[in-house]
Structure 1
Amino acid sequence: MRAKWWFGVLVCWLLSVGAHAQDKLIYCNEPERIRDAGTYADARLLAGQSYTVFYHFRNSSNDTGDFVVQLKSLTEESFSFSSKQGLADPESDPPSVGRQAMARYLRAPEKPIAAAKGVARFTYKLSHHQVASGMMTIKADKNIRMRIYYKHDKWDAPRMRTLVLDSPRCEIAVPLSGELARQSFRIGLPERDTNKTRLRDGSYGMIYSFKIAAPEGRKVRIGFIPRGGKAGIVGMLGGDLIVSEIYEAYERGTFCDALVGPRGELQLTTSPFGGVFYPVELTFQLLPAVAASSSSGPSAQRFHPD
C-alpha cells in the first residue's frame, strides 16, 4: 500500500556532505530466522569510514549456540576501532529485545577498542526462540571484515543477504508557531537498497533528528500512531532517554510533553527498532499557553536499558 508521507511543511533531507558523507548503513536481517549454523551477514569495512550496523535475528533452530558479531583484519594484523554499541540481552519477545538494543545504542558513548590479535568478537548464547538484536557504529583504522554468524562461519546461511546503504541519517526541521501549531511526519518508510532492486522493510538503522523550533516557555506534545502493526518509540530528548509502551496499529499514543527552553529549541533523536512494524506517524503539537501550564508532563517513562 502506497503511503502518503508529506504532512505540513516539514523539510527532510539526507545529509550528503560534511562528516556524514562517509556514513554507511549495514542492514543485516535476511533471512530473519536462524535455522542452522553459518554466516548471516558479511561485509568489508574500509579504513576511516564510519558504518552503522543494524541486525535483528530470531533463533528458530532447535538448539543453543554462540551468536557472534566478528570484526577481523584482512591481513591478520592488529587494528583499532571506535565503536558506539547497543547490544540487547537475548530474550524471546522481539519488541522488548529491539527496544532495549535501541535504548542502549542511543545512550551509549563512543569508545576506542584495540584488537591486538587482529580480531574482535561480541558473543552471547542464543537459545531456541530467543532474539538477537543490536545496533552499533564502527570506524576502524584498517580495512576489516565484519561477519555475523551462529556457531561458526564456515559457510553462508541459505538466502543470506547483507545490504549496504548510504547516509543513515535524516534531519527534519519542525517549526511550530500560532499559525502552524501542529506538524506530522512518518518514520520508517521503506528505502531502496544500493542496487535499486527492491524495497526493504522499514528504514531500520536510520537515525532521525527532529529539530523543533517553538516559543520559549511553551510546551510541545510529541505523539505517535503506528501505521502498520504494533510499534513504539525510543528517543533522546534534552539529554534524557524516553521510551514509550508498545501500541497496536492506529492506536494513538503520547510520547512526551516537552518544555521549550530559553533558545526556543528542542531536539528529538530516534530510530526504528527491531521487533515492531513501521511506518510510524509522529506528531508535534504546540500546546496552548493555558494547557501548557497545567499539563501533567511526559506520559512515557524514563527507561534504563541495563
Structure 2
Amino acid sequence: MQKPYRDYSSYLRGLFGCRVHKITIDAGLTCPNRDGTLGTRGCIYCNARGSGTGASARGVPIAEQIRSAKSYLAARYKARKFLAYFQSFTNTYAPLPKLRDLYGQALSDPDVVGLTIGTRPDCIPDPVLDHLRELSRHHLVWLEYGLQSAHDKTLEIIGRGHSVAQFCNAVERSRSRGLPVCVHVILGLPGETLEDMLETADFLARLDIQGVKIHLLYVVRGTRLHEWYSQGRYRCLSREEYVEACAAFLSRLPPHVIVQRVTGDPHRDELVAPSWALEKQKNLAALHRYMEDHGLYQGRFC
C-alpha cells in the first residue's frame, strides 16, 4: 500500500536495493542539557534513561550491540544491510578523537552501510562536521537534529537549552558539507495550538532539510512533564487530535522530504499517558485513513 508521504524504508531500499534497518547504538555519551554545562534542568519530557538502551552502562561494546541486533533484525525483517543509529543523548558531544573511534567501531562491520547521528544543534563543531563529511565519501551519513518546535518561547518552556537560530546555523553548516539533515519535531507541546504546530511545518518547508521525524509528546515516568501532568498542568493530545495535527503537518512539507517517523515508540514500563501511544499500528492506520478520507498527502499545501 502506497503511503501518503515519502517514507524512509522505501528511500533506503531505493538506495541499496534491499531491506535496510537501523541498529540503535548506545555509545555512553551524555548531553550538555543533562550534565550541568548549560545550567538548565534538562528537557521536561526526558528522564534519567532518556532514549538510551543502557547497553553502554552494561559494558556492551558497540561491535556486540551491532552483532546482536543484526541477528534479530535479519530474522524478523529480512534486513540485509544496516545503519548504525547513534541515538542515546547527544552523539557529537565528546572530543573528536573519541567520536572518531566510536563511529569507526560501528563502520567496521561490513554490513553497516552508514551512520545516523542524533545530536543537538548547539553541539556540532566544525571539526566534527568535517570528519562526518569525510566518512560520507564512502558511507551514508545522516545528521538528526532535535528542534521540536520552531518557536523559541516553546523551546524555553520545555527546557531545550538552545534557540531556533542555533538550529538554523547547524543546518546551514551541515548542508554546506553535503550532509543530509533530519529534523525531530514534537506535536502536542505545552502551550502550543494547532496553528503553532503548523507554523513549525511551514518553517521547515523553507529550509534545506532532507528528512523529518514527527513525535507525539507522551508523558514518561520520572520527568518534569510527569509532575505537570499529575498536577493537571498538562493535557495529552487525544488520538484524533494527533492524527489531525500530523496529517496537516505532513501536507505542508515539501514532497522531497523523507518522513522517517510519524509516531513514537514509548517504553511500556515508563509510559504514564496517553495509553494509546503504545498502539503504533492502530495509530498509523488511523493517520493513513484520515489523510485518504480528507484528500491529504505530503506537499498538498506546501
The answer, yes or no, to whether TM exceeds 0.5 is no
Q: Which has the higher contact order (CA 8 A, sep 6+)?
A: 1
Q: What is the TM-score normalised by the length of structure 2?
A: 0.30
More helix by share: 2
State the TM-score, normalized to the length of structure 1.
0.30
Larger radius of gyration: 1
Q: Which has the higher strand share?
A: 1
